[in-house]
A and B are shown apart, each in its own frame.
Chain A
Amino acid sequence: MIDDKTLQSVLALCKFSLSDREKEHFKQQIGDILSYVETLNQVDTRSIDPDLGKSLESMSLRQDKAAVGLPTEQVAGLSAHFQDSFFTVPRIIEEMDEITEES
């Protein structure tokens, strides 16, 4: 079982909500799943380098060459909330609201 405070704080990260009934169900189920995965503590991992081993294959990189991306019609076609070349969202409320541009 996880407690209400934990449930609330993790839900805030998840950005979804649960009904009261779902919450009770969730607290139990998540608690069970967490106890289950905690069995990992039985494994002795002291021999494992906490950082990445140096034997790892290295990433292949991209040459710095520019290419055209998606044509505007396709970008516009992604969303019903595309207006005057912009995606639109409900107004972003900030404490520094008088600043017109985010950076």
Chain B
Amino acid sequence: MKYDVIIGCEVHVQLLTRSKAFCSCPNNFGGAPNSRVCPRCLGLPGSLPVPNRDMISSAIKAGLALHCKIAELTKFDRKNYMYPDLPKAYQISQFDMPVCAGGYLEVTADGQSRKIGIIRVHMEEDAGKNIHAQGGLNMSYVDYNRAGTPLLEIVSEPDIRSAEEAVNYVQSLREIMRFLDVSDCNMEEGSLRCDANINLWIYEDEKRFATPIVEVKNMNSFKAMKSALEYEAERQLDEWREKHLTLQAVGKTTRGWNDDRGETVLQRMKEEAADYRYFPEPDIKPISISQNLIKQIKQSIPELPEQKRGRFVQDYGIAQEAAEALTQSKALCDYFEEAARGYQEPKRIANWILSEVKKLLNEKQMSIEQFPVPARQVTELLRIVDAGTISGKIAKDVFAEMAASRKSAAELVETKGLAQISDTGELEDVVEKIIRENPSTVADFKAGKQKALQHLMGQIMNATKGKANPQVTIRLIKAKISGN
């Protein structure tokens, strides 16, 4: 059976402003429950919302990076529903005049790059958190610290065609938000949350049938997202085979991903769909956005990952995969570019960062911003290797030592006496001694066994504590054996 998977994503990202969306409470993560609340975000009677200027500029920034049109006039609306985590019993959101609309995001999946349409980007406030009591207590607990946190809701067109593409879409989105410094997009902490609408287009009897749309919720990691959407596509295909249900007949339902069971669970049928009674928020006047402001914000947008990747491949001659790995964060890009500055082989810098730096970051569980070795030290170290002063292998140990001691490469090589022995006179004695002590290996070598050379090298390295310059040593071994 021929069919297409149709996916659209609704992503919520928390903005990294200092204060909340409509009040001055600090916008942080964590802290004692109900410790960052005030009359406004608690929805106390008489309190009024006043929008945060930076929330609006962040929204515009994000919109511009997603190639959206920015509204000249935007307004807030109330989305009404009663739930314990929603202090005012309405969420201040945007309904029919979102701040940004009509953009796209370029996403690569299966080696193919496609444009995923962005319907809209709008601002809204987050709710608090309901925590359900464990152990049969007939109670739930509510913490309003998160209530009023500024969010962007980013809604894509149903342009996504696979679970993999959906994951890549959200990852690219995260990348951009991080580059813009608009959100840290941490799925585990909930600063990025994604719901997806998914159905299938089934081609049968030269007709196209749409299966009922399912909104999948509760995908709390990229792994969960991929499994959930793959599962849901399979489930819908099975359901189609069994019941031939169409979108027209059933409409939209909501299902939650259960990670433990590895399946989606029905949460809400269409007829229970809530009536949110949206209407313009009377406490906040419409906001006009000047061309001047848009221009200013545009100028503050840094080079984005997509552009950076192209430039890295073009200007530094590094591979596409390496460029992708480097552009995962702006700080990593900056680190690379600083290290590569004035170095003739940027590729080697890229490799060093992607292997050695990444390895240490993983070991130490730190981010590149916290990494103690300055970028220029990577360059210095590679220059020492290039000069033949130390081997590439020793350089790796030196680098680990640099990260631990914060000493410079030159200093470590000097104080630890790590410089290679390239002096032929000094090496000659050792080589002669080893050849003398290993006649059978020498015989093997003469018989053309390559392994024999490695064995001899190993002995020499042992004797010199790894400081023998490998090129010089090989030359000497060959000369001595054939000379004899």
Contact = CB atoms under 8 A, between A and B. Distances in A.
Direct contact of A and B (CB under 8 A): yes
Interface residues of B, number: 66
Given A65-B18, A75-B37, A103-B193, A87 B132 contact: no
Nearest to A52: B286
Contact of B190 (A66, A72, A96, A103): A103
Contact of B139 (A54, A90, A100): A90
Given A52-B75, A54-B288, A88 B139 contact: yes
A98 B134 CA distance: 10
Contacts, number: 152
A59 B284 contact: yes
A26 B139 CA distance: 35
Contacts of A100: 131-132, 134
Interface string B16-47: 01110001111100001111111101101000
B387 interface: no
Contact of A59 (B44, B51, B138, B141): B51
B276 to A, nearest CB: 10
A89 B139 contact: yes
A89 B140 contact: yes
Interface residues of A, number: 42
Interface string A15-59: 100000000000000000000000000000000000110101111
Contacts of A95: 256, 265-267
Q: Is the interface of A mostly helix, strand, loop or mixed?
A: loop
Given A56-B286, A61-B51, A89-B140, A66 B82 contact: no
B9 to A, nearest CB: 16
Given A59-B286, A92-B130, A98-B258, A87 B25 contact: no
Interface stretch (B52-60, B101-109, B312-320): B52-60
Interface of B: 17-19, 23-27, 32-39, 41-42, 44, 50-56, 72-73, 75, 82, 84-85, 97, 127, 129-134, 137-144, 190, 193, 218, 220, 256, 258, 260, 265-267, 275, 277, 280, 284-288
Given A91-B138, A92-B132, A101-B131, 12 more contacts: A59-B51, A65-B18, A65-B24, A66-B25, A69-B25, A84-B141, A85-B35, A86-B131, A87-B142, A90-B139, A95-B267, A102-B85
